[in-house]
Amino acid sequence: EVQLQQSGPEVGRPGSSVKISCKASGYTFTDYVMNWVKQSPGQGLEWIGWIDPEYGSTDYAEKFKKKATLTADTSSNTAYIQLSSLTSEDTATYFCARSRITTWVMDAWGQGASVTVSS
């Protein structure tokens, strides 16, 4: 069974950073890219970017290039997203979702990780 298990809720102070993990199981980690998606009440769903775990190559939406850093560890089948210089606009739920690099379709999602920015 394919599973994407994300880390728990995070609270960060304005200006700080948080790092969320997404541990994959039930499939070959390097056969899929990992997408990251932001969901917030005000902005709906936004694609942040993706990482190819085999090569470490990434693509980001322009809006998130200075906000998010995507990494992956093939030894532990885990993908990460780090969000930096937190502001209230970063308060949201963040999902990881896998897709085959050849089809882009996100066919399995993590359960989501909430980030709250508060002083």
Partner 1 sequence: DIQMTQSPASLSASLGETISIECRASEDIYSNLAWYQQKSGKSPQLLIYAANRLQDGVPSRFSGSGSGTQYSLKISGMQPEDEGDYFCLQGSKFPFTFGSGTKLEIK
Output the smallest distance, CB 94 to partner 1, in A. 11
Where does this chain touch partner 1 (CB under 8 A) — which range of 16-24, 26-34, 75-83, 107-115?
Answer: 107-115
Where does this chain touch partner 1 (CB under 8 A) — which range of 12-20, 69-77, 83-91, 110-118?
Answer: 110-118
**Among residues 33, 72, 81, 106, which is the contact residue for partner 1, using CB under 8 A?**
106
Which 57-96 positions form the footprint of partner 1 (CB under 8 A)? 59, 61-63, 95
> How many other CB atoms are found less than 10 A from the CB of residue 1?
6
Q: Give the C-alpha distances (Å, rounded to integers) separating 42 from 32, 54, 67, 108.
A: 30, 34, 18, 24
